[in-house]
Chain A
Amino acid sequence: MKIVILGAGQVGRTAAYHLSREEANDVTVIDSNEEILRDLQDRLDIRTVNGNAASPRILEAAGIASSNVLVALTNSDEVNMLACQIAWSLYRTPKKIARVRSADFTERDNLFGENQVAVDVWISPEQLVTEYIARLIRYPGALQVLDFADGRVRLVGIRARLGGPLVGHTLSTLREHIPTADARVAALYRAGASVKPEGTTVVQDGDEVFFLAARKDIRVVMREMRREEAPARRVVIAGGGNIGFRLAKALEDKNQVKLIERDTKRARKISEILKSTTVLHGDAADEELLLEENIDNTDVFAALTNSEEANILSAMLAKRLGAHKVMALINKPSYSELIESGSIDVAISPQIITIGSLLTHVRRGDVVRVHSLRRGAAEALEVVVHGEADNSKVIGRRIEDISLPVGTTLGAVVRGDDVIIAHHDTTIQPDDHLILFLTDRRHIEAVEKLFQGSASFL
């Protein structure tokens, strides 16, 4: 697929990296900063074009005329939308994805569409990140909670701890433990390495378990892996930027939220909009302030400022001062790896969260949802299968008869409104949504091929 990416910022660079890693993609990046481009060109096998992203001449130089996908990720909503419009008006680019941050735009249902502003898909990283954190706070103990099939099925990442009834037992005993609920362990990581989850696999203390379950069953299954934690009540957010502000807004109805912001003007502005959140003016790394605000009684401390170093330090400080669970927003993958095993409970990577929603649109076959996991090494995706039994490699077959690539697990099937947790004898029917987990995303092409055979029949 030929892809043009506008903007070589954090998200643009990550997108270029992930997309160009796949042999089938030809990636061109446009940015106005020549130095960043040169550096990017040295490290990735891509083409770069220096110039204004919304200029037809520059877009042409980047080969927009023959491209399949335009991904506009500059830091200006207006430039992104205009670039998509230009690509559609002049070159009929089939798929245009734009980063649109401002809710002012995204709230209007009729703004984007065929005859309106030509943006096929808009993504708002801030919103994605906010939702992601909100889900984590809703399920205390989870490392990751990802939605499939409009939230009917969720993939939950959790660290198994002594005290969970399943820890020390084989996976096959899960059914005996919880007869009412059904779940499928899609992947298991022990000391950073993937372990094939089979019925005979014994769950150990410290394992990172990914399981798929219907939304209603998630809490029950989580309880199997570690002692249940009380739901989070008191939340402290450090940083009142876009993400911090949105998160406070999303949580303030059900939780007791405090928000620490360094800038007086910004603090004042958000306090005007927020209703029950306590907005504090000060430094999140100020020990006195944290103590004064009862940090030792806090259920969740989320450091969400622009500076990842400050996030790491303030989260570590909060943890030491007694915050129950701390999260930090971290951009650099290398930092996440460093700290996630240490004193910070959850490292949140905006790029990895965003890249999943981008990958959804470049996958071949009818893929409706992609989540990138473990810093991009693994991937979970939701595929719709089309066709008939005689022209598909999957339809009409039992799961045990489908030859999935190495490291790929078929975790769940969504049929209409029903969620069917996959077992070896489940038979696939047309228009089923399948939820797959790939421990090694290098096999993605094999997976695409498996499901595309039927999708191309459309």
Chain B
Amino acid sequence: MKDILLPVAHVFALVLMVFAATMFAPLILAVWGLDPALWSFVISAFATFLLGGVLWLATRRFKRELKTRDGLLLVALTWIALPAVAGFPFWHYLPIGFTRAYFEAASGLTTTGGTILSGLEYLPRSINLWRHLLSWLGGMGIIVLAVAVLPLLGVGGMQIYRAEMPGPMKDSKLTPRIGQTAKLLWAVYAGLTAACVVFLRFAGMNWFDAVCHGFSALSLGGFSTYDASVGHFDSLPIEWVLTVFQILAALNFATHYLAFSQRGVAAYFRDAEAKAVLSVLLISCIGITVFLFFKGTYPNIPTALRHSVFNVVSMATDSGLHTQDYSHWPIFATMWMMFLSCIVASSGSTGGGIKMIRTLVLAKQANRELNLLVHPNMVRPLKVGGSVIANRVVFAVLAFVFLYFMSVVALIFLQLASGLDFMTSLSSIIACINNGGPGLGLIGASNNYSALNEFQTWVCSGAMLLGRLEVFTILVLFTPTLWRK
């Protein structure tokens, strides 16, 4: 086990040192604004860098090229360990324990966006920036970022990329070199974020809120700088800008890149997954608008439309920003939104859940089985968007969905066993594993996760990591073969 873990720890040390550099963003803001959290960031950045440096030196003897399982381990280790480091400023500055600091950081990095903090508007700006920056870094992937900026990962890069990027078919790269692909994806991501920030500024936010919400929207994180989330602004232009950018973030970034490089929208029409995402969102928004209007939740269609579009899109794409406390909506609407959060986001996007492509594959597979009952001799490959999906991929999708649901069920039972009510248990796990954000019941949009006790908070943190790394990467840690020589 030592021989397996230490070479990975050596690379992880580098990741830690790079991560320490990102702490300079809130640190500089704290210096600039003479912020009370300044010392927390100074200590954190210094300690993280030192920790990385010491670990790097201590494991130098074990340096070697990474193999497949090392890649898996590195990703898993990074995601499990980073929230502890990233949560340090919260733990140091705020009156919360380690459990909740870890939760807050994990919620940021995994782009869940559920918070345990209240009075967000009274927090120092540096703390808020750090929360949003974590979301943004985690959105496209810490390790993918490391692959882009550090040439150290070489051949092993592909395994790492695969372990971190969401979606079932990760063999197609934009460019031959994994490092370049990672750079391109990050460039698209950063470009869209910048655009979103500018639009938000013009829609009426100040620069600080615009940057924070831009980070939230593109990473589909869901953190806000206000307790009332986007509802605080009560501004239609802001809601529209965020809606559009959240939808963009829920599509495959490779498709964005193709569209950008071809200077046209044809790429979106060729992407079967994108079409499905947009159709489902469109139908759901209209349906819920009509439903809310007839149920009398909102007095007229325009109001119902405004609130349903923003909240449905935000919830379905696993962002978690909100303008209304939808836990008071009729249960059909909230459950439907929760269901959408499981399936809507695209592979290769920053959203969570099962991903639309897997849903499509499973739907087509179910359809194939039905057809086979009628025509037992039929030869019919499974196609999505005109291209054939290999059976191997179908099996992987089936295994994924099974593990995903078993994880959900098992974690819900854990929550129930700890004494939580049913609605809160269900919604906390669904929201966390999909990296959605707020749930229902005790943790609804108007409350937050501070209602949970320590054990329940840990379960939620675990669910977030499980969801962000698409179950396999975490569960593989529990397979004995990984640890065998």
Residues on A lying within 8 angstroms of B by beta carbon are: 2, 20, 23, 26-28, 34, 38, 41-48, 63
Contacts and interface: CB of A to CB of B under 8 A. Distances in A.
Contacts of A42: 68, 158-159
Interface string B150-191: 010011011100000000000111011111100000000000
A38 B159 CA distance: 12
23 contacts: A20-B176, A26-B175, A26-B176, A26-B177, A26-B180, A27-B176, A41-B158, A41-B171, A42-B68, A42-B158, A44-B155, A45-B157, A45-B158, A45-B177, A45-B178, A45-B179, A46-B176, A47-B172, A47-B173, A47-B175, A47-B176, A48-B171, A63-B176
B176 A28 contact: yes
Q: Tell me if B's interface is mostly helix, strand, loop or mixed.
A: helix
Given A41-B158, A45-B157, 12 more contacts: A2-B176, A23-B151, A26-B175, A26-B177, A28-B176, A38-B171, A42-B68, A42-B159, A43-B155, A45-B179, A47-B175, A63-B176
A108 to B, nearest CB: 35
B68 to A, nearest CB: 7
Contacts of A2: 176
A418 B134 CA distance: 67
A41 B179 CA distance: 14
Interface of B: 68, 151, 154-155, 157-159, 171-173, 175-180, 390
Contacts of B173: 47
Contacts of A45: 154-155, 157-158, 176-179
Nearest to B159: A42
A48 to B, nearest CB: 7
B155 A34 contact: no
B135 to A, nearest CB: 29
Contacts of A38: 171
A45 to B, nearest CB: 5
Contacts of A63: 176
Contacts of A27: 176
- By Cβ-Cβ distance, the 5 closest A-B pairs, closest first, are A26-B176, A47-B176, A47-B173, A28-B176, A46-B176
A93 to B, nearest CB: 16
Nearest to A28: B176
Contacts of B68: 42
Nearest to A38: B171
A314 B157 CA distance: 42
Nearest to A4: B176
A41 B155 CA distance: 9
Contacts of A23: 151
A45 B390 CA distance: 23
Contacts of B155: 43-45
Contacts of A46: 176
A121 B173 CA distance: 29
B186 to A, nearest CB: 17
**Which of A20, A41, A48, A63 lies at the interface centre, i.e. has the most chain B CB atoms within 10 A of its CB?**
A41
A165 to B, nearest CB: 44
B160 to A, nearest CB: 11
Contacts of B180: 26
Contacts of B157: 45
A48 B172 CA distance: 7
**Which of A38, A41, A44, A45 lies at the interface centre, i.e. has the most chain B CB atoms within 10 A of its CB?**
A45
A41 B171 CA distance: 8
B390 A34 contact: yes
Nearest to A23: B151
Nearest to B179: A45
A34 B157 CA distance: 20
Nearest to A27: B176
A44 B155 CA distance: 5
Nearest to B171: A41
A44 B171 CA distance: 12
B265 to A, nearest CB: 20
A48 B170 CA distance: 12
Nearest to B156: A45
A298 to B, nearest CB: 44
B301 to A, nearest CB: 46
A38 B180 CA distance: 20
Contacts of A48: 171
A50 to B, nearest CB: 9
A2 B177 CA distance: 10
A34 B175 CA distance: 19
A42 B157 CA distance: 9
A451 B458 CA distance: 61
Nearest to A37: B171
Nearest to B151: A23
A44 B173 CA distance: 13
Nearest to A49: B172
A47 B161 CA distance: 13
A335 to B, nearest CB: 22
A2 B176 CA distance: 9
A153 to B, nearest CB: 36
Contacts of B176: 2, 20, 26-28, 45-47, 63
A63 to B, nearest CB: 8
A28 B180 CA distance: 14
Nearest to B180: A26
A48 B68 CA distance: 18
Nearest to A62: B176
A26 B180 CA distance: 10
A27 B178 CA distance: 11
A28 B178 CA distance: 12
A446 to B, nearest CB: 17
A288 B154 CA distance: 53
Contacts of B175: 26, 47
A55 to B, nearest CB: 15
Nearest to A26: B176
Contacts of A43: 155
**Which of B172, B176, B178 lies at the interface centre, i.e. has the most chain A CB atoms within 10 A of its CB?**
B176
Contacts of A47: 172-173, 175-176
B297 to A, nearest CB: 49
B156 to A, nearest CB: 9
Contacts of B159: 42
Contacts of B171: 38, 41, 48
B348 to A, nearest CB: 16
Contacts of A44: 155
B72 to A, nearest CB: 13
A26 B159 CA distance: 18
Contacts of B178: 45
B401 to A, nearest CB: 22
A38 B393 CA distance: 13
Nearest to A35: B392
Nearest to A3: B176
A28 B181 CA distance: 13
Nearest to B155: A45
B170 to A, nearest CB: 10
A6 to B, nearest CB: 14
A58 to B, nearest CB: 13
Contacts of B390: 34
B394 to A, nearest CB: 14
A337 to B, nearest CB: 19
A43 B172 CA distance: 15
B92 to A, nearest CB: 40
A28 B154 CA distance: 16
A426 to B, nearest CB: 38
Contacts of A20: 176
**Which of A26, A27, A38, A42 lies at the interface centre, i.e. has the most chain B CB atoms within 10 A of its CB?**
A42
Nearest to B68: A42
A41 B169 CA distance: 13
Contacts of B154: 45
A188 B407 CA distance: 61
B198 to A, nearest CB: 31
**Which of B177, B178, B180, B390 lies at the interface centre, i.e. has the most chain A CB atoms within 10 A of its CB?**
B177
